[in-house]
Homo-oligomer: A and B are copies of this chain.
Amino acid sequence: MDKPVNENQLDQFKSLIAKLFQCCQARMQYQSEKFGLPEAELRCLILFGQERYLTSKGIAIKMNVVKSRVTKVVQGLVKRGLIHRVPDPKDSRVSLLALTADGQRKIDKINQFIDSIHWEVLSRMAQEQRRTLLQNLDILSASMEAVKELMV
């Protein structure tokens, strides 16, 4: 009974996704500039919003990046005084990373900015529209996630 995906839908979909992607990229570039941090360091810093202490390994997993890369990024953030190392009392191989006061302030400002951008996007539509949009995005993201798994 269900009609198959047609050409038009496919093309429209491709172009919409491409636009969304570009907007996200532009936002990240902008915010890197605005806060004077390389994109990777900014992405790393944000992780500390969720957890008080992180290890290099943990960061590598969350950032989906190899551990030697994390070494570099963390060095950058330490040099900037945004995070600092504390030795892990349980295991002397690892050092725990945590925000400094400066880092906390920075992260607050960054999160505020990110929220404001997303808020701005949502606020341009009516409440009802927002609700259905989120429903649809949820379905889309599940579908994309599933296809991504096939792709490995």
Is A10 interfacial (CB-CB < 8 Å)? yes
Hey, which bits of chain A sit against chain B, CB under 8 A? 2-5, 9-10, 12-14, 16-17, 19-21, 23-24, 26-27, 30, 114-115, 117-127, 129-130, 132-134, 136-141, 143-148, 150-152
Given known contacts A121-B147, A143-B124, A145-B19, A115 and B30 CB-to-CB distance under 8 angstroms:
no
> Which B residues are in CB contact (< 8 Å) with A16?
134, 137-138, 141
Copies of the protein in its oligomer: 2
Question: Which of A19, A137, A150 gathers most chain B CB within 10 Å?
Answer: A137
Closest 3 pairs between A and B when the two form their complex, measured CB to CB: A23-B144, A136-B136, A16-B137
Chain B residue nearest in CB terms to A16: B137
> Which B residues are in CB contact (< 8 Å) with A3?
127
